[in-house]
Amino acid sequence: MLTRSLIAGLALTFLSGSSFAATEITWWHAMGGELGKKLDEIVAKYNASQDEYKVTAVYKGSYPETMTAAIAAFRAKQQPDIVQVFEVGTGTMMAAKGAIYPVYQLMKDTGATFDPKAFLSAVVGYYTDADGNMLSMPFNSSTPILYYNKDVFKKAGLDPEQPPKTWEDVESYSKKIMSSGAAKCGFTTGWISWVQLENFSAWHNKPIGTLQNGIGGMDAELTVNGDLQVRHWTNLKKWQDEGLFQYGGPAGGNDAPPKFYSQECAIYMNSSASRAGVIANSKDFEVGFGMLPYYSDVQGAPQNSIIGGATLWVLKGHDEAEYKGVADFFSFLSSPEVQADWHQYSGYLPITEAAYKLGQEQGYYAKNPGSDVAIKQITLNPPTDNSKGLRFGNYVQIRDVIDEEFQNLLAGQKSPKDALDSVVTRGNKLIADFRAANG
């Protein structure tokens, strides 16, 4: 038989639990491994900082898998509050009319503290509409940089403190490295599409498509078969044939990192977010860091590189309390302390000027030479219509086309011009299909 005091205690417990239950917010993401653990740590820190909201982070697989899962969940009316979507999914998300709650509108509606000018322009430009309104919240933004083996440079008689600045340098250094026997290969790269076409074009202030690389509207078309892009792919094919360059595979180029870690290739181009992995796997030699190379005879180069990584999109269909929680969480995520910590741990860019300044004040860049190369590179010049980013429908599939045509080039099945012409023809067909489905 329950005593009166026990009944009162149970009632009090029930009432306090129901009165003060935290509002649940769900975040679907694509961060696995060590990055996923760090993300969980950030979420736990937020949840401990207040008791009004509880964020639950759920790993949903790769970037494409996460985006596909969110779209399917929205159709089934089981969508999360927040979903992490990689940069090339921006066009797809923007076209999902009625599904997206734009971040600028969310922050305004909830009265949250929000200053879009506090963010790095090269980061937010990718995720703003034609009027400059921020559509999603930047979280993990990266840009490709150049890594090199200082020990191999010394063996080859090169200055270990001087990374190659131009593609002419990359070629001459690679020849010297190989002829001296310091390494078997000059350079390799991850992400042919992202590094050697999209960023290559932006770095030289050349367009890859019409209408500001698609940012200006859905009627945009690809133009990646320009003279400079053809010249570069011609050189990559020549350098591959000569052994100076070794292809690292499609998409992220899973074969590229081991070529650098094993000291087979002396130079390696990949994401700034690869920094932690590069350092962890290069215990036997000293790593140097540099900006992407450029062709010295191209006017306007170097310009600025463009970002990769992902942003956080807010999905419609939830109540006002949840959206207030999302806005509060976004304010926490973009705070200087959280961003500086995430940036310094991961190698992703600090998304705000304040986070970068905090890192400087903490002495992080002085203690970790090369850790600010990506920031300097992406902010080298104010972004132009050619270097703000890109936004095309079906771009995930277009990147597959780029990989296929590059492999056709290396196999000798197509000339550089024919391969890039095929990218444009096949890519524009995919864009047209997307426009027809979402116009």
Got the DSSP string for 99-125? Answer: TB--HHHHHHHHT----GGGB-HHHHG
C-alpha span between 71 and 64 (Å, rounded): 11
Edge to edge, what strands does the sheet with 245-247 contain?
Answer: 245-247, 185-189, 265-271, 144-149, 287-290
pLDDT in tens, the chain (439 residues): 444 444 444 444 444 444 468 999 999 999 988 889 999 999 999 999 999 999 999 999 988 899 989 989 999 999 999 999 988 888 888 888 789 999 999 999 999 988 888 988 878 877 887 788 899 999 999 999 999 999 999 999 999 999 999 999 999 999 999 999 999 999 999 999 999 999 999 999 999 999 999 988 889 999 999 999 999 999 999 999 999 999 999 887 789 999 999 999 999 999 998 888 898 899 999 999 999 999 999 999 999 999 888 999 999 999 999 999 999 999 999 999 999 999 999 889 998 999 999 999 999 999 998 899 999 999 999 999 999 889 898 998 999 999 999 999 999 999 999 999 999 999 999 999 999 988 6
Question: What is the pLDDT, as a whole number, of residue 159?
Answer: 98
pTM: 0.87
| Token reading at 369 | 């030479």
302 cis-preceded (ω within 30 degrees of 0): yes
Structure tokens at 325: 């929680």
DSSP assignment of 281-338 equals: T-TTS-EEEEPPPB-TTSTT-S-----EEEEEEEBSS--HHHHHHHHHHHHHHTSHHH
Residues 202 and 303: beta-carbon distance below 8 Å: yes
* Residue 116: burial class (beta carbons within 10 Å; 0-12, 13-18, 19+): middle
Residue 332 main-chain phi, psi, to 5 deg? -65, -45
Structural Rg of the chain based on CA atoms: 24
Q: Is the dihedral of CA 112, 115, 118, 119 positive or negative?
A: positive
**Strands laid side by side in the 82-86 sheet:** 53-59, 23-29, 82-86, 308-314, 137-142
User: What is the secondary structure of 132-149 as a DSSP string?
Assistant: --B-SEEEEEE-EEEEEE
The predicted pLDDT at position 408 comes to: 98
> What H or E segment, with its residue span, contains residue 399?
helix 395-410
Domains and CATH numbers, the chain: 2-142+307-367 (3.40.190.10), 144-305+392-438 (3.40.190.10)
